Amino acid sequence: MPELPEVEITARRLDEALRGARIESVLAPGINALKSFDPPLSELAGREIVGVGRRGKHLLVHVSGELVLLIHLMSAGRLQLYGKRAGPRDRTSRLLVRLDSAPPGGMPDDAPSEGTSGRELRLREFGTRQAAWVKLLREDELEAEEVLATLGPEAWPDPPPLKELLAGARPLHKQLRDQRTIAGIGRSWVDEILWHARLSPYKRGGDLDEEERARLREAIVGVLGEALAHYEQAVALPIPDKLPMPLQVHRHEGEACPRCGDTLRAVHFEDYVIAYCPACQTEGRVLKDRRLSRLLK
Ligand SMILES: [Zn+2]
């Protein structure tokens, strides 16, 4: 589940490795992965990658000639760099960007097998769903692109004050995951952030007092920043299939709270699970499921 720290480390590693790389060809074997048609992917052949960046949970591969690949990994995608080319039957591949060879020493794990020299940037997706997507845009179309145009301010490194952002009656865990409110946080890191801030996931954003807002902002910046510092040590190319997410609360229900020792709990909300510590976050109260399906059973 790549969120801001996972996408940011991917962008950093690829940026280091790919600046100046020349594109030989681009294929989109994933049915429906390519969500744009003009300019065509063939426009990329012969051009250079000028940098790799991030906006929210999206990756941006900037290419010479004012072009940019906008990539959303969704829940199960990875953008990985290999020292050789994928076989035609690699069913996880959604997009293959074939590149010139790495400069000497530029790629670990770089042992080109016969007939497949050159590097390959691969958008791969694990599981059965095809949800990850790609658009090839002109740089001047990027800001107006329908998804990017709706994104809120970046959650890291310096989000704006939360007072205006979080006004309203929606529960915090929902507000913080809403990319139009604040960009980069998803269902994994929201649990960690609220646990760090000692706030109930169901508390309404508009009900926070000034001290709670300050605590929450500090938790957002601190938790995402620490995750990134961890990845700086732990993540190398080609970018692993499974990123070593340093989570303490999310998916740790049933275990002891690392802060107070109370048992971490989980509550189902719509189609996902929120983990939290009752003693630290909800004054000891156990939260009730709000899934409609529960009521109908
Ligand atoms: Zn606790």
DSSP class per residue in 18-77: HTTPBEEEEE--STTTB---SS-GGGGTT-BEEEEEEETTEEEEEETTTEEEEEE-TTTE
The chain-wide mean pLDDT, for the chain, equals: 91
Answer whether residue 107 shows pLDDT above 70. no
Answer whether residue 112 shows pLDDT above 80. no
- Report the separation in Å between the CA atom of 262 and the middle of ligand 1, taken as the mean of its atom positions: 5
- Report the separation in Å between the CA atom of 75 and the middle of ligand 1, taken as the mean of its atom positions: 28
What does the pLDDT read at residue 170? Answer: 92
Two structure tokens written together for 6: 């996972």
Answer whether residue 259 shows pLDDT above 90. yes
Number of neighbours of residue 284 by Cβ within 10 angstroms: 10
User: Is residue 246 within 8 Å of residue 230, measured between CB atoms?
Assistant: yes
Apex CA 99: angle with CA 95 and CA 101, to 5°?
145
Residues 115-131 have pLDDT tens digits of 446 899 999 999 888 89
Residues 14-31 have pLDDT tens digits of 999 999 999 999 999 877
* Mean pLDDT of the 269-295 span: 85
Exposure of 97 in the CB half-sphere (CA atoms within 13 A): 28
Answer whether residue 246 shows pLDDT above 90. yes
- Report the separation in Å between the CA atom of 202 and the middle of ligand 1, taken as the mean of its atom positions: 16
Percentage of residues of the chain with pLDDT beyond 90: 81
- Report the separation in Å between the CA atom of 213 and the middle of ligand 1, taken as the mean of its atom positions: 20
- Report the separation in Å between the CA atom of 261 and the middle of ligand 1, taken as the mean of its atom positions: 6
Answer whether residue 36 shows pLDDT above 60. yes
What does the pLDDT read at residue 292? Answer: 56
Note if the pTM is more than 0.75: yes
- Report the separation in Å between the CA atom of 103 and the middle of ligand 1, taken as the mean of its atom positions: 50
Residues 186-226 have pLDDT tens digits of 999 999 999 999 999 999 999 999 999 999 999 999 999 99
User: Is residue 134 within 8 Å of residue 123, measured between CB atoms?
Assistant: yes
- Report the separation in Å between the CA atom of 209 and the middle of ligand 1, taken as the mean of its atom positions: 21
CA 214 from chain center: how many Å?
25
What does the pLDDT read at residue 117? Answer: 63
What does the pLDDT read at residue 106? Answer: 53
The helix (H) or strand (E) run that includes residue 105 is none
Task: Report how far residue 295's alpha carbon sits from residue 219's, in angstroms, rounded to the nearest whole number.
Answer: 34
Which amino acid makes up residue 151?
A: L
More confident of the two residues 87 and 195: 195
Q: How confident is the model at residue 263 (pLDDT cuts 50, 70, 90)?
A: very high
- Three-class DSSP category at 162: helix
Do the bridges between strand 58-63 and strand 67-72 make them parallel or antiparallel, or are there none, so unpaired?
antiparallel
User: Is residue 155 within 8 Å of residue 183, measured between CB atoms?
Assistant: yes
What does the pLDDT read at residue 229? Answer: 98
- Report the separation in Å between the CA atom of 264 and the middle of ligand 1, taken as the mean of its atom positions: 7
User: What angle separates helix 210-234 from helix 187-196, to the nearest 10 degrees?
Assistant: 120
- Report the separation in Å between the CA atom of 57 and the middle of ligand 1, taken as the mean of its atom positions: 29
